[in-house]
A and B are shown apart, each in its own frame.
Chain A
Amino acid sequence: MTSSSAVSGALRGGPATDPPAPGPGTARRRDRRPRPGRRGTLAAFLTPSLVLFLLLVVAPIAVASYASLYKWNGFGLPENFVGLDNYTRAFADPTFRGDLWRGLVLIVLSLVVQLPIALALAMLLNQPLKGRSVYRLIFFAPYVLSEVTTAVLFTLVFSPNRGLGDTISRWLGADAGAVFGDPDTVLFAVFLVVSWKYFGLYMILFLAARQSIPKELSEAAVTDGASAWQAFRHVTLPLLGPTIRISVFLSVIGTIQLFDMVWVLTGGGPIHASETMAVTMYQYGFRRFEVGYASAISIVMFVLSLVFALFYQRVVMRRDTEGALTNQGDQR
């Protein structure tokens, strides 16, 4: 998550948005003069990150796109060229199509359940409430636990006979322990655990944004006769817009790559009912050694993330700030 929350930072804090710092200007003037060793300095400073990045981030993507065109078990060199067969196979495969559908369901659930709850709690913690820093500390704590730890904990919480499942069942009058075993409910159960871990992140982001809005604005609205709801709806909410749009972005990108939680909670089952694209990719790539096919799934995930990111940044976030990816021209 941290790495994807980073995404937005880069998207929003691109070159075009930076204040014209005095540094680059003066540096540019000085650096125009050909100086011996300047090129060497540049190379020395850039080489470590470029090597790491090209070798371990860019090259794998290139390898995946190449391998996705072959039927390949991952050993030796790929030789059996099959063109786009892996892709047509994926889009005809009920499991993969199910992955896309389930991803969509998870995204919609996040947007209509998780984010609004996080927003409500952020507004709540913005009130002058005794002990609110303790509440904030507790609400955010699950974010630092790994998805694996969280998933194992919840597996045990709901484990039959030895967990809280039976107790909860008695309260609810329904069998709580069975939610992970029932294809009709498992996806929602996974969603609840994901939300347990991540709502605190969004709450913190909303809270930080809320606290940067001057108090006078909503106070003025209330003085002018607006109800608390109206003040929120027409003053606070629009000002939170940029943070909300970023949170939607993070949520979608996070859902596209969801793996750890699902893998540990359910392994994608029962009968694929909670499987995600990443789980399908892992099954084919690391269990069945259909590396070509699994690479095609990786590339679909990559293209979906990239297309979504570019589309979202151009269409939805453009009014917030000019970004790094779409607005290179301004800088030069």
Chain B
Amino acid sequence: MTGTANPALRTRRLVLHLVCIAVGALIVVPVWFGVLGGFKDNGQLSTNPLGWPDPWVPGNYTGILGSEVFWRQLGNSVLIAVSSTLIMVGAAAMAAFVFARFAFRGRELLFTLFAIGLMFPFAVAILPLFVLLRGMGLLDNPLGVILPQAAFGLPITIVILRQFFRTIPGEVEEAATLDGCSPFGFFWRILLPMARPALATVSVLALVSSWNNFMLPLVVFTDQSWWTLPVGVQAFQGQYADDTARVLAFVVLSMLPALGFYAVAERQLIGGLAGSVKG
């Protein structure tokens, strides 16, 4: 399989590269169109959608970066993603600890309840959830997005963490208990540090799904100052429908944090997805 002069093999490899490049182009070209389009004005976009900007117009990007709206939405997205992840992972880790290492009546029943929760798509619950949140006075309150996101993320996180906690030998717990460790002490000082890779995986999955959530912030926040980036992007498109170049710049800027995060956490993300399917 070394690439020495086998012409058939070389042709084959060339074809494979061409296929990959074609598929890659389908992905890169729309994004590239957006990045360059942000540096154009609308006149250039009509006459020259794909080429380099001439002249370069940085105003679309600098205008958005200089406005408060983008940064506030970015901040809201970060606040909501980080808080829901912390709450969810915290609550899920405690439950997973009990499910993994205690035997008690009703354990399997409870666990099944959570597992069935995996079947509830957000879209199914959104309407009654809205009614409930309104009743609790959580509309236009970040908790109205944070808590439901945490709740809907619990099932998968409990399932993954429980599996991981089970792989930690019972002797570790015995030893800790003999040394006078309370269950909480064992959980906090020994189990959680040992589970760091699994915690990283579930956190990355939770961050991405919170970051991309649209439906819940859409219905919970009528107050614009709480909007997250997905809601903001959609509203921006509606507001500047005639100014394509400016909307492109906003879309590109809103993509950057996600793509940056992907670059950093690619391994956890892919490992987590592949792992959660393998179970």
Residue of B29, B31, B168, B279 with most partner-chain A CB within 10 A? B279
A14/B115 in contact, CB under 8 A? yes
Tell which of A44-52, A84-92, A104-112 binds the partner.
A44-52
Of the candidates B118, B158, B206, the one whose C-beta lies within 8 Å of that of A49 is: B158
Of the candidates A10, A17, A205, A298, the one whose C-beta lies within 8 Å of that of B273 is: A205
User: How far is it, in angstroms, between the C-alpha of A59 and the C-alpha of B125 when the chains are bound?
Assistant: 9
Of the candidates B17, B183, B206, B215, the one whose C-beta lies within 8 Å of that of A129 is: B17
Tell which of B54-62, B67-75, B128-136, B192-200 binds the partner.
B128-136
B49/A61 in contact, CB under 8 A? no
List of B residues within 8 angstroms of A146 by Cβ: 211-214, 229-230, 233, 258
| Interface residue ranges of B76-135 to A (CB < 8 Å) | 87, 90-92, 94-95, 97-98, 100-104, 108, 110-132
B20/A294 in contact, CB under 8 A? no
| Chain B proximity mask over A247-281: 1 for CB below 8 Å, otherwise 0 | 00010010011011001100000000000011001
Give, as a whole number of angstroms, the nearest-CB distance from A301 to chain B: 5
Query: B64 within 8 Å of A by Cβ?
Result: no
Query: B189 within 8 Å of A by Cβ?
Result: no
List of A residues within 8 angstroms of B113 by Cβ: 53, 58
Taking A131-B20, A156-B37 as given, write out 10 further A-B residue pairs in contact, using a Cβ cutoff of 8 Å, ordered by the A residue number: A4-B118, A10-B156, A23-B169, A60-B129, A127-B16, A135-B24, A139-B24, A149-B233, A157-B34, A328-B112
Q: Which residue of B lies closest to A307 (CB)?
A: B119
Q: Which residue of B lies closest to A23 (CB)?
A: B170
A306/B248 in contact, CB under 8 A? no
List of B residues within 8 angstroms of A148 by Cβ: 212, 214, 230-231, 233-234
List of A residues within 8 angstroms of B101 by Cβ: 23-24, 27
A294/B108 in contact, CB under 8 A? no
User: How far is it, in angstroms, between the C-alpha of A15 and the C-alpha of B112 when the chains are bound?
Assistant: 9
- Across the A-B interface, give the 4 residue pairs with the lowest CB-CB distance, nearest first: A6-B156, A13-B279, A257-B121, A146-B212
Give, as a whole number of angstroms, the nearest-CB distance from A4 to chain B: 7
List of B residues within 8 angstroms of A21 by Cβ: 100, 166-170
Give, as a whole number of angstroms, the nearest-CB distance from B29 to chain A: 8
Is the interface on chain B under 10, 10 to 19, 20 to 34, or 35 or more residues? 35 or more
B128/A60 in contact, CB under 8 A? yes
Please list 19 pairs of residues, one from A and one from B, whose beta carbons are closer than 8 Å in the complex, sorted by A's number.
A5-B276, A7-B156, A8-B279, A13-B159, A45-B187, A46-B94, A49-B95, A64-B128, A129-B17, A149-B251, A152-B251, A153-B248, A162-B49, A162-B245, A205-B273, A259-B123, A281-B123, A306-B116, A324-B111
Give, as a whole number of angstroms, the nearest-CB distance from A30 to chain B: 8
Chain B residues near A (Cβ < 8 Å): 1, 13, 16-17, 19-20, 23-24, 26-31, 33-34, 37, 42, 45-46, 49-50, 87, 90-92, 94-95, 97-98, 100-104, 108, 110-132, 147-148, 150-156, 158-160, 163, 165-171, 173-174, 183-184, 187, 205-206, 208-209, 211-215, 219, 229-231, 233-234, 237, 244-245, 247-248, 251, 254-255, 258-259, 261-262, 266, 269-270, 273-279
Give, as a whole number of angstroms, the nearest-CB distance from B119 to chain A: 5
A60/B125 in contact, CB under 8 A? yes
List of A residues within 8 angstroms of B33 by Cβ: 157, 163-164
Chain A residues near B (Cβ < 8 Å): 1-15, 17-19, 21-28, 31-32, 41-42, 44-46, 48-50, 52-53, 55-64, 67, 74, 121, 124-125, 127-129, 131-132, 135, 137-142, 144-149, 152-157, 159, 161-164, 166-167, 196, 201, 204-205, 208-209, 243, 246, 250, 253, 256-257, 259-260, 263-264, 277-278, 281-282, 285-286, 291, 294-295, 298-299, 301-302, 305-306, 309, 321, 324-325, 328, 331-332
A204/B270 in contact, CB under 8 A? yes
Give, as a whole number of angstroms, the nearest-CB distance from B271 to chain A: 8
Give, as a whole number of angstroms, the nearest-CB distance from A137 to chain B: 7
Q: Which residue of B lies closest to A278 (CB)?
A: B123
A205/B255 in contact, CB under 8 A? no
A295/B159 in contact, CB under 8 A? no
User: How far is it, in angstroms, between the C-alpha of A286 and the C-alpha of B59 when the chains are bound?
Assistant: 37
User: How far is it, in angstroms, between the C-alpha of A9 and the C-alpha of B156 when the chains are bound?
Assistant: 7
List of A residues within 8 angstroms of B171 by Cβ: 22
A139/B31 in contact, CB under 8 A? no
User: How far is it, in angstroms, between the C-alpha of A12 and the C-alpha of B9 when the chains are bound?
Assistant: 40
List of A residues within 8 angstroms of B20 by Cβ: 124-125, 129, 131-132, 135
Of the candidates B208, B233, B258, B274, the one whose C-beta lies within 8 Å of that of A152 is: B233
List of B residues within 8 angstroms of A55 by Cβ: 132, 151
List of B residues within 8 angstroms of A332 by Cβ: 108
B123/A257 in contact, CB under 8 A? yes
Assuming the contacts A56-B147, A291-B127, asked whether A204 and B121 have C-beta atoms less than 8 A apart, the reply is no
User: How far is it, in angstroms, between the C-alpha of A328 and the C-alpha of B101 when the chains are bound?
Assistant: 17
User: How far is it, in angstroms, between the C-alpha of A134 and the C-alpha of B129 when the chains are bound?
Assistant: 42
B27/A149 in contact, CB under 8 A? no
Give, as a whole number of angstroms, the nearest-CB distance from A103 to chain B: 12
